[in-house]
Amino acid sequence: MDSKLRKMAVITSLALVLLVGLLVVWMNQKSTGRPGEQTKMTDSSTEEESVPTPGQIGTDLSAFERDAAFFDPESNPYLEELLDQSSRLSLFVTSVEKDLRIQVRDSYDRIVTGESFYVTLEGHGEFKDLDRDGIIYIGDLTAGEYLVSLKPIEGYKVPEAPTRIRVKDKVEYIPIEDISLLIRTEDEIDVEAEDTGISDALEDADQTEVKELRSSTKTARTGIDVSKWQGEIEWDRVKAAGVEFAIVRAGYRGSVTGALVEDSCFRANLRGAAAAGIPVGVYFFTQATDEVEAVEEASMVIELLKGAKVDYPVFIDTEGAGGNGRADELSVEMRTLVCEAFCRTIENAGYRAGVYASKNWYENRITVSSLSRYVIWLAEYREVPGYEGYYDLWQYTSKGAVDGIAGDVDLDVSYWNPD
């Protein structure tokens, strides 16, 4: 937008705000008495009578449009002050590991988009907001303190002093404050290319697989795990069918671009299960390639769970993405570190954390002994699991049938008690 047009738009908006304020003041004065009104006692009565001073506030709401001075900051000190505040910018800077994420914010703490901002990083030169989204990412930095400055831009007031920030040497397992900026909806991505998780447990299934809800016992509860693939769920019918818990997918990282994407049915499933009185847990399909990305994924889940009650753990779902996923070829060591980083971040936010994987992945793609402090959720589609390690939950089929859900659904048994 042209700076003159932007300035005029801002001035007009502020004028309207100022006018509304004047109207509020007038209404208050009308009901309680304007400053300057006097009280007079009559000879024949003890009642008070208000005697207004001469003059009144007009009712022509468009009068300001004909007042040239109203739009002139030099003639209107109140408008000048408001305009000055509205055009002020600030920087919000965070670091996860040897990097910086810089946000340009306005006086209302909103990210400013549509402008080509430049920042100067001490010792590293200038960086431009190429996609004009108000965010500049700088990676591969040496740990230490830096000064970040926003270069002047027409129509705005930039901070006079640089922002001091410490670049972290090693990832800290704490939620990222500005993670909401990275969360996408499925309307913003190529879903077919990005949501491609394929359970390795399908390859290990045999004809003994049980496809009905198992009966609960004193030590085991029966449940389901769901995502957008189950569509709209009638949760009251699910509850009546005997389901005692549900693990709901919060989202996934895109297999190609690595975008953080919210499951389109997550909020509806969380609300529906809670309304039906079904205890819930959450899982996230990972395509993180390192610990930093794992912290991002955990931070996204934590952000989405704000205000929600969770009874079961928050799981990282680690499995393949058809062979072409960005994390399919991770080493055993790195995949284990990803799971550890996710779980530690989740636990540092006050939730119980867990890991979901197939028998094959626990035995060959993860060092499960390094993750034994977390809740282990096994996927193995047989009547009796062949996995010899310890596990807390068992997903025993992906082809289950439950009243209230159209089509197939994953069925689970939990030996882990949230009480």
pLDDT over 70 (residue 8) = no
262-277: pLDDT as tens digits: 999 999 999 999 999 9
Q: What order of strands is seen across the sheet that includes strand 163-167?
A: 125-128, 118-121, 144-150, 163-167
Residue 37: pLDDT above 80?
no
What does the alpha-carbon distance between residue 218 and residue 293 come to, in Å, rounded to a whole number?
39
What's this model's pTM, rounded to 2 decimal places? 0.76
The amino acid at 333: E
Q: How far is CA 277 from CA 217, 218, 240, 272, 311, in A?
A: 19, 20, 11, 9, 11
Q: pLDDT-derived band of residue 307, with 50, 70 and 90 as boundaries? A: confident
Q: Is 283 exposed, middle or buried (0-12, 13-18, 19+ CB in 10 A)?
A: buried
Beta bridge partners of 253: 260
Work out the mean pLDDT of the chain and round it to a whole number: 86
Q: What residue ranges do the domains of the chain occupy?
A: 1-22+61-86, 90-167, 179-414
Among 301, 222, 215, which residue's Cα sits nearest to residue 263? 301
Range 286-314 burial, b when 16+ CB lie within 10 A, else e: bbbbbbbbbbbbbbbbbbbbeeeebebbb
Architecture category of domain 90-167 in CATH = Sandwich (2.60)
Could you tell me if 346 and 314 are in contact, meaning their C-beta atoms sit under 8 angstroms apart? yes
Q: Measured between alpha carbons, how far is 121 from 331 in angstroms, rounded to an integer?
A: 34
Is pLDDT of 319 > 70?
Answer: yes
Is the domain 179-414 a CATH 3.20.20.80 member?
yes
| Model pLDDT for residues 327-355, shown as the tens digit of each residue | 999 999 999 999 999 999 999 999 999 99
Query: For the chain, what percent of residues have pLDDT higher than 90?
Result: 71
Is the predicted pLDDT of residue 158 greater than 50, yes or no?
A: yes
